[in-house]
Structure 1
């Protein structure tokens, strides 16, 4: 990881050194901390996080709190329902049905059912089970630096976790839809890669079950190209008997600005759509939206139950998040603010062409290539991420080589917040590239 703490390094206070030691003893070796010097946060509000000394940190990374940290309406809905009833979906309850109906109204009509889980990982895992039942296949196609979850099945679909885990024996990875990977045309090239992957699965004696992509390819480096380029790939997987799963955990809930869901930018209708992180603004709720015909075979063969998925508190929280997005016009806000933010980044890139390369964005999801002599420079990306951290601005890095700045703030992020970010980034670049 480019953006990670190495034990024994950093500039931790004695108190935080003690916390790190406690964490290592209690949580074990598999966890990671962001930044060369980890950040110790104690509360959040809106687009701000605060440390123990009361210092504000501008959050330009956490899409989990999509309507802002500790939004008062969401907190109140959570507390009110927790004080009234907190139980599962095996009892009749209006709350889950009210939310399910309102959520489904944001989708095209053929997507008519929703199943609830606690995490996006579970939603993608459930989608795979459904796809196997619907198609009779087991093969999965993913992009080559994808992230789709932490269950056994979804970790094996998450190439960004690393070769010790992914790909699994039934998974084929194809190049992400970037101009470098498909110089002859992204739409046709990506569709051809899907067909080639299906042939590779059949050579292994496997039938394709599904193609799964994050519809803005965020872990691959935020590849957007011309909206609509995904359509031929969707046609290709269906022609091979498989389904298309749109992973909306990162691009969903209005983040891309012009539409509620990332797949809508492409004018396509997925067979299944997985939802996660932003759905509960920090409360663990997620789901899978499907066409009724896709779930029919699975529903006939198996029962589905999840003790906490869709519980009464989760439904109340998720409903309030959806209401806030709509009442506060956050989707349109993301479109307008994101466009201004991207323009500011491009102007900054023009002043620092030795370091800043291509700027890509859809709403409040932006990426900037960090380069040296025109080549990816993950070390410089790490310096920039940590330089921003030292100015109390939080982002991370993404992409196969970790050289792409990943900027993904809560949706209430303003143009003045963007200006603060641009000022901090300019200062970091001046520090590392003095004239």
Structure 2
């Protein structure tokens, strides 16, 4: 494998190290070489020593030899890998018909009504797409049309997608992906950044006000503030709550809208509420959803306040061939079925509480753990060189991730310095899975932390 590829891969966190290719099993070596020859630019493999899976169930993945890996990373199979309810419903629909939204589909209307019923009453229009990137792209189109503005505010290391439009307000894509001229960055809600004598609410509100003023000075009217309620790419900041009402007031006063990106925090991921924004006591103008909606079948959504979306709908044509077609809608409906039948949100709340408490206990005395953050089944562990300086230690974080993978437990990393352990399992995570994770993490922490 070329040295250029090796350098590129090493620049990304928690990625395959090409230098170890010759140590892998022959079959894996050959597949990786073939992959490199045929796939386009940008593809990356996870983990220093990558792994190939052939099946999955719940929060477990299995390789060719039947080894059981605990998946504590993947939010795409929301209700679990190969969930029998989803498999059955999608298979039945696949054997029947797959038509699009230009034909009458009662199942589509049923699904839209069920999904919208999980939102506050003011959010009552649903448009469907195929990915979170597409959802955020459509949300921004509507926001710009509604406000007449071009200015966008996001957090410093946010990720919202990969389309041409959305990549321009996704700073975590790095220097090779330039931000738009009308994009301004603010801090994530990290209480440690608040000046003495101030509050997090004052800090966040002042940042948004300053960003709006700078946009206007450069000729940009505000279109939207976009936030992910977990601030996942920034390093996972779910708490404290209470700062968002003032932030949204500033946005509305400037004529902008608030877009809540729920790709990471939605579908009860944080346990306490179905949607992450609800923890903050605010009503977004637009909400976007993605990966978990179809449990792996491509479907995403945008929910609007009708006052924001209706003019766009009357004057701008929107059609997406696969969005809202029969098979992904069947998958989405099956996910909602599982939520009801298995009381998923309560399971997330209970197991998430146990998970975080266990991690906090294991790392309490570690000089290399600055904080344990998160809610529900989304936990971040900030790894630092020492607690006094809080200097990020990416190398140590990657060692922990690699050691966990070697013990067949899969996690990843996040934040600009890639020094925050990202612990984000499927919502099928059971109490037994929590126990296995904590026992494995304790072993690694004893050696590394």
Which ranges of 4 or more aligned residues in structure 1 deviate by more than 6 Å? Answer: none
Aligned to 2:431: 415
Cα deviation for residue 356 of structure 1 reads 2.3
Distance across 2 between alignment mates of 1:20 and 1:204: 48
Q: Does 2:156 align with 1:144?
A: yes
Give 5+ residue unaligned stretches, structure 2.
1-11
Cα deviation for residue 228 of structure 1 reads 2.4
Cα deviation for residue 229 of structure 1 reads 2.0
Aligned to 1:102: 114
Report if aligned partners of 2:379, 2:423 keep a CA contact under 8 Å in 1. yes
Aligned to 1:387: 403
Aligned to 2:104: 92
Aligned to 2:31: 19
**Residue pairs, 1:5-154, within 5 angstroms:** 5-9=16-20, 11-154=23-166
Distance across 1 between alignment mates of 2:367 and 2:43: 35
Aligned to 1:206: 220
Distance across 1 between alignment mates of 2:142 and 2:403: 45
Equivalent in 319, 342, 350 of residue 336 of structure 1: 350
Distance across 1 between alignment mates of 2:191 and 2:401: 25
Q: Does 2:18 align with 1:2?
A: no
Distance across 1 between alignment mates of 2:406 and 2:380: 20
Cα deviation for residue 253 of structure 1 reads 0.5
Q: C-alpha deviations, 1:296-351, integer Å up to 9, x for none?
A: 22112211100000101111110010110122111111111101111101100124
Give 5+ residue unaligned stretches, structure 1.
none
Distance across 2 between alignment mates of 1:219 and 1:204: 28
Report if aligned partners of 1:251, 1:262 keep a CA contact under 8 Å in 2. yes
Q: SS where residue 331 of structure 1 aligns?
A: helix
Cα deviation for residue 227 of structure 1 reads 2.2
Q: SS where residue 193 of structure 2 aligns?
A: coil
Which has the higher mean CA deviation after the structures are superposed, 261-270 or 365-374? 365-374
Q: Does 2:367 align with 1:354?
A: yes
Aligned to 2:201: 187
Report if aligned partners of 1:145, 1:159 keep a CA contact under 8 Å in 2. yes
Cα deviation for residue 29 of structure 1 reads 3.3
Q: Does 2:417 align with 1:406?
A: no
Aligned to 2:442: 426
Q: SS where residue 195 of structure 1 aligns?
A: helix
Report if aligned partners of 1:141, 1:173 keep a CA contact under 8 Å in 2. yes
Aligned to 1:277: 291
Aligned to 1:294: 308
Cα deviation for residue 9 of structure 1 reads 2.6
Cα deviation for residue 412 of structure 1 reads 1.8
Q: SS where residue 20 of structure 2 aligns?
A: coil
Q: TM-score, normalised by structure 2?
A: 0.94
Distance across 1 between alignment mates of 2:41 and 2:328: 31
Which has the higher mean CA deviation after the structures are superposed, 217-226 or 308-317? 217-226
Report if aligned partners of 1:349, 1:357 keep a CA contact under 8 Å in 2. no
Q: Does 2:265 align with 1:251?
A: yes
Structural RMSD (CA): 1.2
Distance across 2 between alignment mates of 1:64 and 1:412: 11
Cα deviation for residue 151 of structure 1 reads 0.2
Report if aligned partners of 2:363, 2:445 keep a CA contact under 8 Å in 1. no
Q: Number of residue pairs matched?
A: 432
